[in-house]
Chains A and B, each alone.
Chain A
């Protein structure tokens, strides 16, 4: 993947909305066709910039949801009602619309296909998005590194990528859910916030690398619990997103 990380200046590129679909009632995936896209690594993000007719600009970062796939980039965006960019992306954008995008950005929170042991992906809410890119890239590469995904959502209807995660299961990837607020009647998964006991049960014995993404309090609670369980802090990669993410 050397060379696709792209050193040098970031440039704004035109990105045309090719397709979009609802993932949940408040989350939409947009497929963008980006001319000149240099490729990306799973876990990287992009900056999206919108310009109003009066010249006012708003810019936000979004994780890339898709595995590398030519000039196509998928973003999965959660609508924040008081946001400046996410309401446009989730409600106004239509196929054929053109937005500005720059990237790929980041290199710290990216999928490492040779971790030397099992990988744990821990996502809270829409923090699952860059982890999904990793699961997808792993599948595309035919990578068999044992990978467990722990996905914390409020309720089953808030779980993004449900059907695809079911299909991606197997080949050494398994998905564990915890639903923190509301569980279906026949629910057999976890039903509480991710804590030390839960992580102790879920973390693979030969854990070599962990990626944690979600809201800041979630990420910090998970990382602290993992360190408390004796996992090496330098092998826990975190990405926080906050209330200004919309």
Chain B
């Protein structure tokens, strides 16, 4: 598992497609444990989709799947996401 783990920096391009903004400096609150981290610092696992996990409790924060034409975003694990405008 460790070898497959990356971090939010690796999802920066994908997340910029979703949010049309730089997201690695955005700060998210984990709905599982309440930890607050920059998106660049969270754990990322990529396979058919991309899964972001809390680096403190490993709860799923966000799932992103794309087929090239559409993007599905599951944000259930993020209680709050704070982006600079």
Interface residues of A (CB under 8 A from B): 5-10, 45, 47, 61, 102-103, 105-109, 216-217, 220, 237-244
Cα(A237)–Cα(B39), bound, Å? 12
Contact B7 A240 (CB under 8 A): yes
Flag B11-39 by CB within 8 Å of A: 1 or 0 each. Answer: 01100110011101100000000000011
Cα(A50)–Cα(B21), bound, Å? 24
For the A-B complex, the count of residue pairs with Cβ-Cβ distances under 8 Å equals 75
Contact A106 B12 (CB under 8 A): yes
Which residues of B have CB within 8 Å of A243? 3-4
Cα(A217)–Cα(B6), bound, Å? 10
Cα(A240)–Cα(B5), bound, Å? 8
- The residue that A220 contacts in the complex, of B2, B9, B10, with Cβ under 8 A, is B2
CB distance from B3 to the nearest CB of A (A): 6
Check if B41 is an interface residue, CB within 8 A of chain A.
yes
Interface residues on B, range: 20 to 34
Contact B6 A216 (CB under 8 A): yes
Cα(A217)–Cα(B9), bound, Å? 16
Cα(A148)–Cα(B51), bound, Å? 34
Query: Assuming the A-B contacts A216-B5, A240-B7, are A108 and B38 also in contact, with contact meaning beta carbons closer than 8 angstroms in the complex?
Result: yes
Select from chain A the residue with minimum beta-carbon distance to B17.
A10
Cα(A107)–Cα(B3), bound, Å? 24
Cα(A46)–Cα(B84), bound, Å? 21
- The residue that B25 contacts in the complex, of A108, A216, A217, A238, with Cβ under 8 A, is A108
Which residues of A have CB within 8 Å of B16? 9-10, 105
Contact B10 A217 (CB under 8 A): no
CB distance from B67 to the nearest CB of A (A): 13
CB distance from B70 to the nearest CB of A (A): 16
Contact A217 B3 (CB under 8 A): yes
